[in-house]
Amino acid sequence: MAGESSEYGTDKVFRPRRAPGRERFDRATVHAILDDGYVVHAAFQGADGPEIIPVFYVRDGERVLIHLSAKAGLSLALKRGEAVTLAVTLVDGLILARSAFHHSMNYRSVIVHGKAAELTGEEKARALDLMVERVEQGRSARVRGADPQEMKATAVFAVPLEQVAAKQRSGGPKDDPEDMALPVWAGTVPLELTRGRPIRDLAAESDGVLSD
């Protein structure tokens, strides 16, 4: 059960098989990757076949929360009890090697398999507040909350962190020994997601504040 161990007891069928040594099952790594991301790709069995869509998410302890239109295909599938696979990938750098074959990326990823539970009532309202807080801390107390019609139009689901695996790569290029003398630049081009300078909406005057 979640919380009883520092590592997830992911079933063998859901464990990565390629590039051994890059997989991670410890909660600290999984949580850190999820907390650095904003978009999860959700794959599911739709009415007309497999589908995948990007969705904003937030981690809430040992579960991932997502919100959707109540009439969206993913919402309808989850309400039918269909399983879902969630994938979060963060790219930290481009790896330029001396050979074409060994070009790569530094990345951190988490994949979660499971079935989602729909949230209602106070739990649903709390989940929506957490999503606003993910955008800016303290914001849920300053903005207008969802009205009854907006709440009805929105579905919120929780996917448990049970069948979960992380995978990551770090370091520079891994060229073959016979290629090391080639006159080709090799190394790492770092990439990172950063918050830019806020641009205020000028549609109306506002006395509101934005946290740093």
- Please say if the pLDDT value at position 1 is more than 70: no
Contacts of 114 (CB under 8 A, 6+ apart): 83, 84, 159, 160, 162, 163
Which residues in 103-186 belong to E strands, given as ranges? 104-115, 117-119, 154-160, 163-169
CB 181 within 8 A of CB 91: no
Burial level of 78, CB count in 10 A (0-12/13-18/19+)? Answer: buried
**2: pLDDT confidence band, cut at 50, 70 and 90?**
very low
- Please say if the pLDDT value at position 4 is more than 70: no
**Bridge-partner residues for 155, per DSSP?**
68
The topology under which CATH files domain 12-190 is Pnp Oxidase; Chain A (2.30.110)
**125: pLDDT confidence band, cut at 50, 70 and 90?**
very high
Integer Cα distance of 137 and 152 in angstroms: 25
**pLDDT value at position 117?**
97
Residues 152-211 pLDDT 10s: 999 999 999 999 999 999 999 999 999 999 999 999 999 999 999 988 888 877 667 676
Integer Cα distance of 29 and 59 in angstroms: 13
Query: Taking all residues of the chain, what is their mean pLDDT, rounded to a whole number?
Result: 92
Integer Cα distance of 171 and 200 in angstroms: 39
Distances (CA, A) of 178 to 54, 100, 117, 210: 42, 14, 54, 55
Integer Cα distance of 191 and 94 in angstroms: 7
Sequence spans of domains, the chain: 12-190
**pLDDT value at position 212?**
57
Q: Is the dihedral angle over the CA atoms 188, 174, 110, 52 positive or is it negative?
A: positive
Work out the number of other CB atoms within 10 angstroms of the CB of residue 34: 22
